[in-house]
């Protein structure tokens, strides 16, 4: 083997070794990232199960009293189950205490022109005529949302995440809006503690995407703590 051939051989070997090292480095970083993400998901799911299970037990008196008042008002169903869009577009049934009249969905079609939510995607009215007397109170303090702890326990939802939308709203989403579907929907999130329905749709999307990009167990704990005074004050709820 000539000197020229020897130099070429070691050059190729060095290049191959360098590529191998680079591939190993990339594979190592990917493995560490996968472990970090997987660990966060496991910890987040653990937090969901513990908190949701505890809440369902401790809040039982609230469930009983709320159910009694709903039943006394109009003798209609206590719970309302509505189809919502979850993680990556998967449909699930979300539970709530019924806060509206029994035929609320049918009446909604007649009220769409009076939507007060900027952008026209999410439907909200401050004086929605479909809301019952009991419903107005339990919506103001988010009591109507308490049955969703069952959705969290079942894995359809998480404690923290973008609020789940109805299919009609998702069909109106832009490509950017659909980023909200990249996380499991939750009971609370950034805009829930920052103003709730007083924040327009575009603002809600921006805050939801910001949460998804910075998702962590510690952030979830922080938002859960901030949710308590936000709910008690009832700011932005209607």
With a pLDDT cut of 70, the percent of the chain lying above it is 77
At residue 86, the pLDDT reads 95
How would residue 38 be classed by pLDDT, with cut points 50, 70 and 90? low
Query: Do 59 and 146 contact (CB within 8 A), yes or no?
Result: yes
pLDDT at 234 over 70: no
To the question of pTM greater than 0.85 for the whole model, the response is no
- Other Cβ atoms within 10 Å of 48 Cβ, number: 23
Within 8 A by CB and 6+ apart from 68, the residues are: none
pLDDT at 54 over 70: yes
- C-alpha–C-alpha distance, residues 223 and 154, integer Å: 21
Give which of 30, 81, 238, 45 is closest to 154, Cα–Cα. Answer: 45
- C-alpha–C-alpha distance, residues 238 and 231, integer Å: 12
How would residue 10 be classed by pLDDT, with cut points 50, 70 and 90? very low
At residue 21, the pLDDT reads 67
Query: Do 210 and 190 contact (CB within 8 A), yes or no?
Result: yes
For the chain, the average pLDDT equals 83
Hey, what are 200's tokens? 């327009």
- HSE of 140 in the Cβ direction (CA atoms, 13 Å)? 11
Give which of 142, 196, 231, 186 is closest to 51, Cα–Cα. Answer: 186
Query: Which of these ranges, 26-30, 46-50, 198-202, has the smallest mean pLDDT?
Result: 26-30
Q: What is the largest CA-CA distance in the chain?
A: 99
Q: What angle do CA 190, 192, 198 make, to 5 degrees?
A: 115
């Amino acid at each position: 083997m000539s000197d020229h051939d020897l130099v070429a051989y070691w050059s190729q070997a060095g290049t191959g070794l360098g590529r191998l090292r680079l591939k190993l480095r990339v594979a190592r970083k990917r493995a560490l990232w996968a472990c970090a993400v997987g660990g966060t998901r496991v910890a987040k799911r653990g937090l969901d199960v513990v908190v949701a299970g505890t809440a369902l037990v401790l809040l039982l008196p609230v469930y009983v009293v709320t159910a009694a008042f709903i039943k006394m008002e109009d003798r209609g169903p206590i719970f309302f189950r509505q189809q919502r869009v979850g993680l990556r577009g998967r449909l699930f049934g979300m539970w709530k205490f019924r806060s509206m009249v029994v035929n609320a969905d049918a009446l909604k079609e007649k009220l769409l022109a009076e939507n007060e939510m900027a952008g026209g995607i999410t439907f909200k009215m401050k004086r929605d005529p479909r809301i019952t007397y009991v419903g107005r109170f339990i919506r103001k303090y988010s009591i109507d949302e308490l049955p969703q702890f069952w959705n969290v326990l079942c894995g359809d939802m998480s404690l923290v995440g973008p609020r789940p939308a109805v299919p009609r709203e998702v069909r109106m989403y832009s490509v950017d809006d659909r980023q909200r579907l990249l996380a499991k929907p939750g009971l609370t999130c950034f805009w829930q503690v920052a103003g709730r329905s007083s924040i327009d749709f575009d603002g809600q999307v921006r805050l939801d995407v910001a949460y998804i990009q910075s998702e962590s167990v510690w952030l979830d704990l922080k938002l859960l703590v901030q949710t308590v005074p936000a709910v008690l004050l009832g700011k932005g709820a209607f």
